[in-house]
Amino acid sequence: MIPRNEHWVLICNFIHSCHKPCSWDRTQILQGGPLTMASKGGTFILLLAVACAASAKPQNNMPGKPNFKNMAKKLMMKCQNMGYQMPTMFQQSPVFNFRQLDLPVEKKDEDSSSSNLFTFLDALKTATEDASKDSNGRVTMVDSDETPNKMWNCTKLQQMIRLMRNSSEASACYMQAVVAPMSWTTLTTPGENNMDPGEYDAMVWAAKPALQDMPPSRLNLPQEVKAQYMEKIMNMMRDMYDTMSDHQRGSVVKWVKEQITQNYFNCTMTPPSASGGESQSSESMERCKSSLQWLNLKAMNTFGPYLSRLTLQDVDSSPKEMLCEFFKSDRFTSNLTRMRKMKPSLSKKFLERIQECYGGSMELAQHTDKLGTLACYYDAPDLTPDLSKKLLSQLDNCNNPRSRKLRKRLVQTLMSNSNASQSVHELGSSVTLLSPKQLSELPDSDREAILQTMGPNVRWSKGQLMALLRAKTGGNMCKEVTLEELMTLQAVVEGLPRCMLKRIRAREMLDDPDALRNITKRMRRGQLKAMLMGLSKDVNSSELLSKLSEPLLRVLSLNVLRKTNSTLDQMEKRTWSQSQAAYLAKKMHDQNQLNYRKLRSVLQGVTCKMIETVADKDSLDMAQAITENPQWLSKVQAICASRKLFATLKKVRADYFQTITEEELDNIPTLMLLHLPPAMLKDLPDSVCTVFLDKMEVANMSSLAQRASSRPALLKRALRCLSEGEDLSKLTTEDVSRLGQLMCQLSASQLRLMNPDVMRSSLWDMATCLHIPQRHRTDLIQLLIQTYKDPSDWSAETMEALGPLLLLDDNATSALP
């Protein structure tokens, strides 16, 4: 075993050597090479090797320095949220700026390894600054032919991944935070198809965390990948389907289609106009014919739940025999259960094609239990009770008007059965479609079964609630009830009368916090106040405060709050109403105990005066802290906090925002940056464009008033970053996607300056905007009609995508047939 001090000498020498081409081959790497080390105490030591990967000159699509650091920082924050304490060396590092985040660190004695790990992080900082950038602040490609080999030989990622798998969860979490971005970069580097399957599997596993929070524009999938490796990447993508945005899912679908047609049909679906982003192999390929039947059984299995993002033309590209085989397989059913949202036109297209697999509508009706979400748009014939029960089970998650009518018809079919009592138990959640009269006529045992099986998440009408409660209480709606009796009424809690809630047994209820939480989470304010009156009997204020559920706590009067002896730490952990938060914030401020990082719901009670009293040296920390809980932050508070922060920063340098660095801009919370005055936005240097665009892509614009002058100023600065001036004709769809919610501020005149394909794509994306400025609406509708012609002639697919824009103009909607 190598002595520990000698380990550090070897590692430090290794870091320095990586600034020149490395000489170790893959065999040496897999055998441990010159850095073989004991696992005990060496978990974080091997992180030093990442500095080498950062020093290799990156390719065009590789994220620049801020992106790597931000991604690693976000992943480390996840480790913190999972309860893993950060090693002291990371906390002290200037690379990730964790010192200012006030995060808990490992409680252990310092030794010589701390200073050496600090050396690694410092080397990483130096190495990441080695990349060349263009005038827009984006990383450019230099010596691209050497990049893959340098990355592979220097990083020793396979050895690091093996060590991660053999380390404790806490250690592996922080290791993977740094290794994941580099693993994904390696996978997307041309030439990495030469790895053997085992190495590729390990790399995909290590890279997965980096993709989970990656913005759509950063989701750079490998341009060329072998068929066997595409399936490995898709295994990961299918696992991540539920956490991905619609934009990301669309990117994955586009990539899979291109890989399938290239690998199996030797043609490309990429249009000639997009050749600038094509791989070299696709440039030499012929365009796929529109008649190509590419959506075969293997392709459908590869897509998995991403089938929900196909186009109508894609579904028509599936051979009948293969589509029928896929529908009859278990894979079809399992994939549909994950497709919570499929456009009506696509659902109907799938149903239309599946209908071809059977001789008639009644034959398909025998298989309705396989339809999943497609059942929401199924035009069902008259069915037997048995088939009605089978179809009804598929309609629980449907919310379109047609499916509700269908559910009512199926319920009536089932209830017309001679054994109506048995049919009730087969209705599932559709039991809520029974009328109050039908519910009151059911046997007591059936009603009891309904209340027990439906649980608290079922929504009843007021008439249904009264029918169930009268039957349950025998008409005595104000009687005293035990905790056990109250829990049996959980499914109809919204209908419980106040007179009953005032008579509950306080001690019994307060001693069962789970029951109290479950019974109160759907109560109305009047019910909560009545219940609080009952609970207050013979219980002192401090005990009441400590045992109340969150809904009850929020209706507690300030007088009761003043009488309690609870500590401020205890109060910070609860969820308060706005008036309660104002009282608690003032109390904390007066006692000089206003810790912005621990406020949570108390934040809503902080005033602008309190924010103004924050010391200049703490203003950045305050801004970062309050933006960690945006759900409790008002627009007014955000404005006050941003003014305080910007005024403080200008005291550091008078020209702070004219000379701001990437690191400094990155430290400003995105929510605060949205409030930067237009004059300061205009003066931001081009060198910070990468960080600025990264922030805009994920910014939540709801904290900014609709008529705020910052909105058009933010858009103008973002477009200047993207276009390197005023020429919007060179923007790509990926460029425009980096605008995030700022895209909703685009005017028709700006859209007309774009490439036609990019303009059309932008219109489709803008149809999802929650708000479009009133001044832009008339021109946008005119552009829409000029581009897509008369809306009355639109296909169902186009109407689904662009219909929301038409709703901006009453004249356009009134002209529809």
Q: Which of 192, 214, 236 is the last residue in one of the domains?
A: 214
In a domain? residue 687? no
Residue 204 lies in a domain: yes
Placement of tokens 């079964």 in the chain: 449
E strand segments, 100-224: none
pLDDT at 482: 83
Structure tokens belonging to residue 453: 């099986």
Residue 480 banded pLDDT, cuts 50, 70, 90 = confident
Residue 51 has pLDDT above 50, yes or no: no
* C-alpha 489, offset from chain centre: 36
pLDDT band at residue 89 under the 50/70/90 scheme:
low
Give the DSSP per-residue string, 197-208.
HHHHHHHHHHHH
The 10 Å Cβ neighbour count of residue 531 is 29
- The pTM for the full model equals 0.78
The answer to whether position 477 is within a domain reads yes
What is the per-residue pLDDT for 228? 84
| Of the ranges 47-56, 412-421, 711-720, the best mean pLDDT one | 711-720
pLDDT-derived band at 420 (thresholds 50, 70, 90) equals low
Mean pLDDT value across the chain: 80
Task: Kindly state the average pLDDT of the residues 461-477.
Answer: 88
Using one digit for the tens of pLDDT, what is the confidence trace for 319-333? 999 999 999 998 888
The answer as to whether 536 is a domain residue is yes
Q: Which amino acid is at 406?
A: L
Residue 518 pLDDT more than 80?
yes
Q: What is the pLDDT of residue 156?
A: 63
Instruction: Kindly state the percentage of the chain with pLDDT values over 90.
Output: 38
Does residue 150 form part of some domain? Answer: yes
Q: Which long-range contacts (CB under 8 A, 24 or more apart) does 147-152 make?
A: 147/56, 147/57, 147/58, 147/59, 147/189, 148/186, 148/189, 148/190, 148/191, 148/192, 149/21, 150/21, 150/22, 150/56, 150/57, 151/53, 151/56, 151/182, 151/185, 151/186, 151/189, 152/26, 152/186, 152/192
Q: pLDDT (tens digit, 9 = 90+) per residue, 91-150?
A: 544 444 444 444 444 444 443 334 333 433 443 444 344 433 444 433 333 333 333 344
Residue 104 vs residue 258, higher pLDDT: 258
Residue at token pair 């009605």: 388
158 within domain boundaries = yes
Tokens of 69: 């650091």
List, in sequence order, every residue forming a beta bridge with 267; answer none if it has no partner: 286
Count the domains in the chain. Answer: 2
At 655, list the tokens: 């020209």
Residue that finishes a domain, picked among 193, 214, 235: 214
pLDDT for the residue numbered 796:
86
Is pLDDT larger for residue 212 or for residue 254? 254
d(Cα 45, Cα 41) in Å, to the nearest integer? 8
Say if residue 610's pLDDT is above 90: yes
In angstroms, the CA 247 to CA 130 distance is 32
Model pLDDT for residues 674-711, shown as the tens digit of each residue: 999 999 999 999 999 999 999 999 999 998 999 999 99
Asked if 774 contacts 745 with a C-beta cutoff of 8 angstroms, the reply is no
Is residue 85 a contact partner of residue 116, using CB atoms and an 8 Å limit?
no
Q: How far is CA 515 from CA 449, 488, 508, 541, in A?
A: 20, 11, 10, 20
Which residues make Cβ contacts (< 8 Å) with residue 714, sequence separation at least 6?
674, 681, 696, 742, 745
Is pLDDT above 90 for 727?
Answer: no
Tell whether 49 is covered by a domain. yes
Final residue belonging to a domain, choices 555, 572, 589: 555
Residue 787 lies in a domain: no
State the DSSP code for 83: T
Report which of 306, 103, 68, 101 is spatially closest to residue 210, judged by C-alpha positions.
68
Greater confidence (93 vs 248) lies with 248
Is the pLDDT assigned to residue 12 strictly greater than 80?
A: no
Burial 11-44 (b: 16+ CB within 10 A, else e): beebbeebbeebebebebbeeebebebeeeebbb
At 606, is the secondary structure helix, strand, or coil?
Answer: coil
- Would residue 329 be called left, alpha or beta, if left means φ above 0 and alpha means ψ between -120 and 50 degrees? beta
Q: What is the pLDDT, as a whole number, of residue 581?
A: 94
Is pLDDT of 17 > 60? no
Q: Going by C-beta distance under 8 Å and a sequence separation of 6 or more, which residues neighbour residue 266?
A: 285, 286
Tell me the average pLDDT across 267-275: 71
Higher pLDDT, residue 147 or 376: 376
Least-confidence region, from 212-226, 498-512, 615-629, 722-736: 212-226
Q: Which domain holds residue 157?
A: 1-214
If residue 267 lies in a helix (H) or strand (E), which one and from where to where?
Answer: strand 267-268
pLDDT band at 276 (very low <50, low <70, confident <90, very high): very low
* Mean local confidence (pLDDT), 522-535: 91
632-651 pLDDT per residue, tens: 999 999 999 999 999 999 99
> Which contiguous run of DSSP H or E holds residue 125?
helix 112-128
Range with top average pLDDT, 76-90, 147-161, 344-358, 717-731: 344-358
pLDDT beyond 70 at 19: no
Residue 361: band (very low, low, confident or very high) from pLDDT cuts 50, 70, 90: confident
Question: Across residues 621-629, what is the average pLDDT?
Answer: 93
Report whether 308 contacts 346 (CB < 8 A): yes
Crossing angle for the helix pair 197-212 and 227-239, to the nearest 10 degrees? 30
Q: What contacts 707, CB < 8 A, 6 or more positions away?
A: none
| Cα gap 176→72, rounded to integer Å | 9
Torsion sign, CA atoms 378, 383, 384, 388? positive
Question: Residue 555: its pLDDT value, please?
Answer: 94
pLDDT at residue 25 is higher than 60: no
Q: How many CB atoms lie within 10 A of CB 708?
A: 17
Choose the weakest-confidence range: 53-67, 271-285, 793-807: 53-67
Stretch 734-744: mean pLDDT, rounded?
93
- State phi, psi for 4 to the nearest 5 degrees: -60, -45
What's the token pair of residue 556? Answer: 């507690």
Collect all residues with Cβ–Cβ distance below 8 Å to 502 and sequence separation of at least 6: 530, 531, 533, 534
Q: 222 Cβ partners below 8 Å, 6+ apart?
A: 187, 188, 192, 229, 233
Residue 686 exposed, middle or buried by CB count within 10 Å (0-12, 13-18, 19+): middle
- Region of poorest pLDDT, from 54-58, 498-502, 625-629, 716-720: 54-58
Question: Measured over all CA atoms, what is the biggest interatomic distance in the chain, rounded to whole angstroms?
Answer: 87
Provide the token pair at 527. Answer: 């019910």
Q: Tell me, what's the pLDDT at 454?
A: 77
Question: CA 79, CA 690: separation in Å to the nearest integer?
Answer: 26
Q: Which of 496-505, 555-564, 655-664 has the highest mean pLDDT?
A: 655-664
The stretch 574-602 carries a mean pLDDT of 91
Q: What is the pLDDT of residues 188-246, one digit of tens each?
A: 877 656 778 888 898 899 998 888 777 777 778 888 888 888 999 999 999 989 888 88
Beta carbons of 562 and 585 less than 8 angstroms apart: no
Q: Which two tokens stand for residue 757?
A: 């394909």
